[in-house]
A and B are shown apart, each in its own frame.
Chain A
Amino acid sequence: MALASLLADERLLLGAENAVDSGGPIRPQIDPAQPYAPRTPHFAPRARNVLVIFCSGALSHVDTFDYKPELIKRHGEAMPGGELVTFQGENGALTRSPYAFRPRGECGKMTSDLLPQLGELADEMCFIHSVTSKTNTHGPGENFMSTGFTLDGFPSMGAWTSYALGSENADLPAFVAIPDPRGVPQSSQNNWGPGFLPAAFQGTAFNAERPIRHLARPGDVAAEADTAARELVNELNTRHLERFPGDTELAARIASYELAARMQLSVPEVSDLSSEPETIWRMYGADDSENKVKAGFARNCILARRLIERGVRFVQLFNGAYAMGEGVGNWDGHKKLREQYDVHGPILDQPAAALLRDLRQRGLLEETLVVFCTEFGRMPTFQKDASGRDHNPAGFTCWLAGAGVKAPFSYGATDDFGHRAVENAAVAHDFHATILHLLGLDHRRLSYYHNGIERRLTDVHGHVIHDVLA
């Protein structure tokens, strides 16, 4: 079936000449002087903003949200179907999660004790248990989840979104990436890069601890001198423009200095968490003096909420960083899963759960789509001679919450052990198609011409998963 509609998709591309009528490509018209001006979606959207929580390192679905009684029952047995060689090599026996599962939420969804507070919000969540990836290495896996391609250099989901829709807030970037307090994810800025889209649509990276680079007036430049320099730039540029009447690029550069000035006020304002009441700090765990990484991630979560609140179109919040090595600062639990997840679970759980609850209590979930994802899942077996799980792109869990999403709901399933998606298998392209759909965008039509091809976030693939829509 997938291929039949693949062909159908490509037929659409052929009709490029009369785009709208034929269902051909739609390239948003960008005013160079106002690249972030809000633009109309293709049809009525269900969501206006997106918040992505990206768990870097491959969060194990069999230890969190994909409950497999058969895996518990057959703990210690060999996996049926013969020996499997996966990313790091041979696998050992089926191994149940070290974390117990119990029913949570009104809906009684079975989730594990690793992330109990997130589990308690199961009623808000629409689980997709059958996501698959095309690769089992981290860099390409992150690329695939964030850009739809395993290779480097393609535009990220957030870049596509800001390209398509612009921003609702004239004083903040349309797309913000919030790296984990421990550092950047494995594919680093390719997760929020513009690829071949204009640089205007790249994610601006900052978090509660590290502000936007070069944002603030340098310490050794006096305020009056700063103002004087800007005014001089503006005056001389305006005079220069008089010699080139109607030149949009020159006008756009003048406008960009104005937006930069507004950002210098608005970004510190949004990043200043001191105005948040103590109850909020406590709710997120931002005041946790025992666990500094958790407190740092919690502050990033508060920042994410403040950005969403101010109409930032796309916020990508990372949990986990790679530089510290395998599984140390991220979810890559190859060898010592229990030991490492015991550290990572508390860092993620309370802050992320608080973020979801806070969005709900402020009514922001009505308009915000929350996407919880990772690059792939992990094996139901432990690796041979190790106490952790290898990479598994054949079936893993992501969830959606908020605007336009059916919840509580579980879609798709892996096999008895959590190894492969066997019911409603979904590629990341389907996941992306669904996200764009909720934003009022047709993933088959939102396109950008690059080097011979009308490029799309979903390449030539992808189906909206209608079953998960409210």
Chain B
Amino acid sequence: MLRFGLITVQAALAAAAAFSLGTGTLVCGAEPAERAAVDRVIDFARDVEPILAEHCYGCHGPAKRESNYRLDRRDVATAGGDFGEPAIVPGDSDASPLVQYVSGDGDIVMPPEGPPLDDAAVAILRAWVDQGAVWPDDRAGGHADALTTDHWSFQPLQRPQPPQIDDPWVANPIDAFIAARLAEADLSPSPAGDRATLIRRLYLDMHGLPPTPEEIDTFAADEGPTAYARLVERVLASPHYGERWARHWLDVVRFAETNGFETNTPRPTAWHYRDWVIESLNADLPYDRFVMHQLAGDAMGADRATGFLVGGPYDTVKSPDVALTLMQRQDELADIVNTTGTALLGLTLGCARCHNHKFDPVLQEDYYSLQAIFAGVKHGERPLPRGDEEQRRQQAAAIRAEIASVDRAVDNLEPLARVDENAPNPVRPRVNSRRNVDRFAPVEFRFLRFVALATTANFEPCIDELEVYSAEEPQRNLALAAPGISLTSSGDYPGNTKHQLVHLNDGSYGNDRSWISNTAGTGWAQIEWPQPVVADRVVWGRDRQEEFSDRLATDYRIEVALVPGAWQIVAASADRVPYESAASSEGETEEGSRAAARSELLARREKLIDALTTLEQGQRVYAGVFEQPETTHRLYRGDPMAPREPVAPDALQVISRLGLSDETPDQQRRLKLAEWIASPDNPLTARVMANRIWHYHFGTGLVDTPSDFGASGGVPSHPELLDWLACELIDSGWSLKHLHRLILLSATYQQHSTPHEAGLAVDAQTRLLWRFPPRRLEAEAIRDCMLAVTGKLDSRMGGAGFSFFEPNDNYVRVYEPKQSFGPEEWRRMIYATVVRMERDAVFGAFDAPDAGQVCPRRPRSTTPLQALNLLNSPFVLRQAELLAERLRREAGEESTAQVRRAFALALGRAPDDQELARSRSVVEQHGLETFCRAVLNLNEFLFVP
């Protein structure tokens, strides 16, 4: 941008006169490209205020404050609006957005509609700013409004008195609030549902599993006045409660066990967080602790809980591109800030990343204050302190030693390499990406090189480690880096620290410590020893950690030399089964006894690996790694390339401040915020959680936007009830089970669900709760209920999950759904490994969240794909068969008994005559499986009654 001095040109006076400014000597630039300029002292009241009033106040004045910007108040006019930038920089008009916008020099043009300011007016504003933007106190128009709000959810919690209702229907204060509101709408509550309905509702709601016929019968037979209350206690004490309600929380916090984005690679130790949620709910961990552990569990002996922080997507595709890298980091932090805001506070803080929040009292500065709280959090695994580390370490070392000895035994089965021209048919197995052995007669050499001649897809070959073993016992790897051993190669892959030549013999396996050549499909790497060595085998692989299988040398030779240049081939791919040939050919080339020995060893190895994985996954947890962060800056419009002033870690200023500084250690930052959120004085925390509990019991919250309590969120249907519940939550010592108990024991919850016209006419959505609103079960509960009804549900809790998808180790994971499921997959669906953006092929269609974004409230849609999945998927058909087996086992061969048992198991009731007759005719004409397939598709089976 050009800088202008003052240009004095008399001819421009006319323009000034036209602007009716009285007697000022206004002087403008004569050439069209030049700016009008002013060389007199500008008086704010006389010269500037009229311009602002005429052109600006309409949108940025007392009545309308577009972008929270008003020009009738000095403080606001200077400090700027929602972009968080000063609008006026005294003494520098070129740097002042106000001048830029009205002059057409900025990226925004003001006014947006209507005629622009003329040159003379612009000149006056410019001169005024350049002269220091003097704005006298008597025109200052009062101070900027302090950030306050009268929005309901920010007001302090006060315990409301339940209305006095003289109605025997009222069982506890919840009912008083509900009945009072119903009365206002001329509606009355419904009586309680029957016993069978109540127990089914309770189980489906609280456990996501149906009651057994025996449990139903016992409850129906218990006519004591406390039967229901005792049932509620039993239900609350069952560990199935945690399994059911943890899934709700996982929705709210976008939990998944893969990274998302294009690679979507797994996080094999992320399940610890899921287990922590289940255990915490079952133990009724006070909700304030529940919150604090997730934000700062590393300071409170609850490491697994911090999986909350890094439960979101993480872009693992890294680049030397600075702008991309900074933006990726901003996105990670935004995910943490947003999730904290929506899950714990019911606020959409993410809106303030680029500008002050449009609806809620959250400034852009607040967003970056919160970002500073989390600026030390990075995605990743860390050791999980459990107190038995040493024991586990020793176990792991022993297993590893055993794996190594198995590997050696497998190696010894390997036939010697044949390098003569007329070697017989391929006798050695094809190369594999993990680990290959080339054995040969002991030979003495000082140089050894691996020459790749062709690779998969013709990419540059990759070797993660080249090992050369001594012929004499004990065998040792002679190639391991040591003084005097030197490496050379045909060329190294440029610009990547992961793939350097030194990694060839550094003793570290895996892609991140590997060598790649710089030529497509070919390349060689050479090891030179200071003295001759004697060896009889070479072991090499592309990626012994089995993440990558590309870049594999499929055609190669290994050569040795005692003196430079005198190469002698000791092994090559020529006598291996060709890489491209059919899979079955391996076994055919191996003699029976050797094949048997090999497969026995490999089976042993697989078991050892499983044991090691369990041990190691148990020791590590994907729950974030922490470090002391650098200074956080506010970013202009959220652009990481446009940092502005430093911002200290803090909470939301509209509520209260934390008083932290840039020096505050990472953990302290999170701990202080955690205390602030988990405080009884925070007006949002208890309200938001009480509402979530209500939401999952009734299908809709008292606020129907459970993660948005801001101005654009829903209005509470029963504001006093919500506050009463929030106070109950706090006063019970933040006991969630206390809230459940209150709700479950209320007459409101126990109402029957039959609709009537009067209710539908006034309140079709049933927000006022004139009946219990029935609803379709969620994906997980549908699947779990099927397994429960067939009797195949595996009730093992916790630990690594099962997968809905075929194993795959592509760099970009491909999630191909499994076609058949066995007992391994018959655990509750909460134990299925959650793959981001890939829903399960059968039940995903029932609005299961994809964990790309948080899901505070699942949509409940109805689609033909749902019908097809329940009718035709192999999973459901298999369950229909298993149900039929169970019916035969438990009810014998007689169709009436079979149908009765099926109704009892699946629907918790007896069939009426017509249902029985129709069902029997299907059983008798088309088989029991056909009937069972129908049962698993019934609306009644899928609905909370």
Query: Do A and B bind?
Result: yes
Chain A contact residues, CB within 8 Å of chain B: 1-5, 7-8, 10-11, 13-14, 16, 32-33, 35, 85-90, 135-140, 142, 150-154, 173, 183-184, 186-190, 193, 195-201, 204, 212-218, 221-222, 224-225, 228-230, 232-233, 235-237, 239-241, 243-247, 249-250, 252-257, 259-260, 263-264, 322-325, 328, 335-336, 384-385, 449-454
* B331 is an interface residue with CB less than 8 A from chain A: yes
Q: How far is the CB of A40 from chain B (nearest CB, A)?
A: 21
Contact residues of B between 108 and 153, Cβ < 8 Å to A = 108-110, 112
Chain A residues within an 8 Å CB radius of B754: 243-244
Contact present for A246 and B914 (CB under 8 Å):
no
Contact present for A237 and B853 (CB under 8 Å):
no
A228 (CB) vs chain B CBs: closest residue: B926
Contact present for A228 and B358 (CB under 8 Å):
no
Q: How far is the CB of A18 from chain B (nearest CB, A)?
A: 15
Contact present for A260 and B864 (CB under 8 Å):
yes
Contact present for B331 and A151 (CB under 8 Å):
yes
Contact present for A256 and B914 (CB under 8 Å):
no
A237 CB contact (under 8 Å) in B331, B854, B938: B938
Question: Quick one: which of B775, B859, B927 has the most chain A CB within 10 A?
Answer: B859
Instruction: Take A35-B861, A89-B495, A139-B315 as given contacts and tell me if A452 and B707 are in contact as well, using a CB distance cutoff of 8 Å.
Output: yes
B812 CB contact (under 8 Å) in A245, A322, A336, A453: A322
Chain A residues within an 8 Å CB radius of B712: 16, 452-454
Q: How far is the CB of B530 from chain A (nearest CB, A)?
A: 33
Q: How far is the CB of A86 from chain B (nearest CB, A)?
A: 6
A193 (CB) vs chain B CBs: closest residue: B850
User: 18 more A-B contacts (CB under 8 A) besides A249-B776, A452-B710?
Assistant: A33-B862, A35-B862, A86-B319, A89-B319, A137-B324, A153-B837, A184-B814, A186-B262, A195-B853, A199-B866, A213-B817, A214-B872, A240-B940, A244-B754, A254-B939, A385-B518, A452-B342, A452-B712
Contact present for B494 and A385 (CB under 8 Å):
yes
Chain B residues within an 8 Å CB radius of A244: 753-755, 774
Ordered by A's residue number, 27 sampled pairs between the chains whose C-beta atoms are within 8 Å are: A85-B322, A87-B324, A88-B319, A135-B324, A136-B324, A137-B324, A140-B261, A151-B852, A153-B851, A173-B864, A197-B859, A199-B863, A199-B866, A200-B863, A204-B865, A212-B868, A214-B869, A225-B929, A237-B939, A239-B914, A244-B774, A256-B862, A256-B863, A323-B810, A328-B457, A336-B520, A453-B712
Q: How far is the CB of B394 from chain A (nearest CB, A)?
A: 41
Contact present for B457 and A232 (CB under 8 Å):
no
Contact present for B713 and A335 (CB under 8 Å):
no
For the complex, what is the distance from the CA of A454 to the CA of B359, rounded to whole Å?
Answer: 12
Contact present for B926 and A224 (CB under 8 Å):
yes
For the complex, what is the distance from the CA of A324 to the CA of B457, rounded to whole Å?
Answer: 9
Instruction: Take A137-B319, A198-B861, A452-B707 as given contacts and tell me if A187 and B262 are in contact as well, using a CB distance cutoff of 8 Å.
Output: yes
Q: How far is the CB of A382 from chain B (nearest CB, A)?
A: 13
Contact present for A233 and B934 (CB under 8 Å):
yes
Chain B residues within an 8 Å CB radius of A153: 837, 850-853
A323 (CB) vs chain B CBs: closest residue: B814
Interface string of B903-925 (1 = CB under 8 A from A): 00000000000110011001001
Q: How far is the CB of A241 from chain B (nearest CB, A)?
A: 7
Contact present for B358 and A10 (CB under 8 Å):
yes
9 shortest interchain CB distances as A-B pairs:
A153-B852, A139-B262, A152-B852, A452-B348, A198-B861, A452-B708, A153-B853, A260-B867, A260-B864
Chain B residues within an 8 Å CB radius of A139: 261-263, 315, 317
* B273 is an interface residue with CB less than 8 A from chain A: no
A86 (CB) vs chain B CBs: closest residue: B321
Contact present for B812 and A323 (CB under 8 Å):
yes
Contact present for B918 and A229 (CB under 8 Å):
no
Q: Spot the interface stretch: B4-12, B172-180, B554-562, B840-848.
A: B840-848
Chain B residues within an 8 Å CB radius of A230: 871, 934
Contact present for A188 and B837 (CB under 8 Å):
yes
For the complex, what is the distance from the CA of A151 to the CA of B810, rounded to whole Å?
Answer: 22
For the complex, what is the distance from the CA of A196 to the CA of B915, rounded to whole Å?
Answer: 39
Q: How far is the CB of B928 from chain A (nearest CB, A)?
A: 11
Instruction: Take A243-B754, A256-B862 as given contacts and tell me if A451 and B342 are in contact as well, using a CB distance cutoff of 8 Å.
Output: yes
Contact present for A263 and B864 (CB under 8 Å):
yes
A195 CB contact (under 8 Å) in B815, B852, B918: B852
Chain B residues within an 8 Å CB radius of A89: 319-320, 494-495
For the complex, what is the distance from the CA of A151 to the CA of B241, rounded to whole Å?
Answer: 33
B939 CB contact (under 8 Å) in A186, A241, A385: A241
Chain B residues within an 8 Å CB radius of A228: 922, 925-926, 930, 934
Interface of A is mostly: mixed
Contact present for B859 and A3 (CB under 8 Å):
no
Contact present for A152 and B260 (CB under 8 Å):
yes
Instruction: Take A199-B863, A328-B457 as given contacts and tell me if A137 and B755 are in contact as well, using a CB distance cutoff of 8 Å.
Output: no
Chain B residues within an 8 Å CB radius of A225: 926-927, 929-930
Chain B contact residues, CB within 8 Å of chain A: 66-67, 107-110, 112, 260-264, 313, 315, 317, 319-322, 324, 327, 331, 342, 347-348, 351, 358, 457, 459, 494-495, 518, 520, 550, 705, 707-708, 710, 712-713, 753-755, 757, 760, 774-776, 810-812, 814-815, 817, 836-839, 841-842, 845-847, 850-856, 859-869, 871-874, 877, 914-915, 918-919, 922, 925-927, 929-931, 933-934, 937-940, 942-943
Chain B residues within an 8 Å CB radius of A252: 862
Contact present for B324 and A3 (CB under 8 Å):
no
Chain B residues within an 8 Å CB radius of A254: 939
Contact present for B862 and A214 (CB under 8 Å):
no
B262 CB contact (under 8 Å) in A240, A322, A453: A322
Contact present for B107 and A384 (CB under 8 Å):
no
B922 CB contact (under 8 Å) in A32, A173, A229, A255: A229
Instruction: Take A199-B845, A260-B864 as given contacts and tell me if A154 and B342 are in contact as well, using a CB distance cutoff of 8 Å.
Output: no
Q: How far is the CB of A246 from chain B (nearest CB, A)?
A: 5
For the complex, what is the distance from the CA of A33 to the CA of B871, rounded to whole Å?
Answer: 19
A136 CB contact (under 8 Å) in B319, B705, B817, B931: B319
Chain A residues within an 8 Å CB radius of B814: 183-184, 323
Q: How far is the CB of B327 from chain A (nearest CB, A)?
A: 8
Chain B residues within an 8 Å CB radius of A189: 837-839
For the complex, what is the distance from the CA of A221 to the CA of B876, rounded to whole Å?
Answer: 13
Chain B residues within an 8 Å CB radius of A14: 358
Contact present for A217 and B872 (CB under 8 Å):
yes
Contact present for B943 and A250 (CB under 8 Å):
yes
Q: How far is the CB of A143 from chain B (nearest CB, A)?
A: 8
Q: How far is the CB of A39 from chain B (nearest CB, A)?
A: 16
A229 CB contact (under 8 Å) in B776, B851, B861, B934: B934
A263 (CB) vs chain B CBs: closest residue: B864
B853 CB contact (under 8 Å) in A196, A222, A260, A335: A196
Chain A residues within an 8 Å CB radius of B845: 199
Chain B residues within an 8 Å CB radius of A222: 926
A200 (CB) vs chain B CBs: closest residue: B861
Q: How far is the CB of B560 from chain A (nearest CB, A)?
A: 31
Instruction: Take A140-B261, A221-B877 as given contacts and tell me if A246 and B864 are in contact as well, using a CB distance cutoff of 8 Å.
Output: no
B753 (CB) vs chain A CBs: closest residue: A244
Chain A residues within an 8 Å CB radius of B933: 221, 229
Chain A residues within an 8 Å CB radius of B459: 325
Chain B residues within an 8 Å CB radius of A140: 261-262, 315
For the complex, what is the distance from the CA of A328 to the CA of B512, rounded to whole Å?
Answer: 23
Chain A residues within an 8 Å CB radius of B919: 232
Contact present for A218 and B874 (CB under 8 Å):
yes
Chain A residues within an 8 Å CB radius of B865: 199, 204, 212, 214, 260
For the complex, what is the distance from the CA of A156 to the CA of B212, rounded to whole Å?
Answer: 42
Contact present for A4 and B861 (CB under 8 Å):
no
Q: How far is the CB of A204 from chain B (nearest CB, A)?
A: 7
For the complex, what is the distance from the CA of A252 to the CA of B861, rounded to whole Å?
Answer: 9
Chain B residues within an 8 Å CB radius of A188: 264, 815, 837-838
For the complex, what is the distance from the CA of A177 to the CA of B196, rounded to whole Å?
Answer: 45
Chain A residues within an 8 Å CB radius of B753: 244
Question: Quick one: which of A86, A197, A229 has the most chain B CB within 10 A?
Answer: A229
For the complex, what is the distance from the CA of A137 to the CA of B862, rounded to whole Å?
Answer: 35
A134 (CB) vs chain B CBs: closest residue: B327
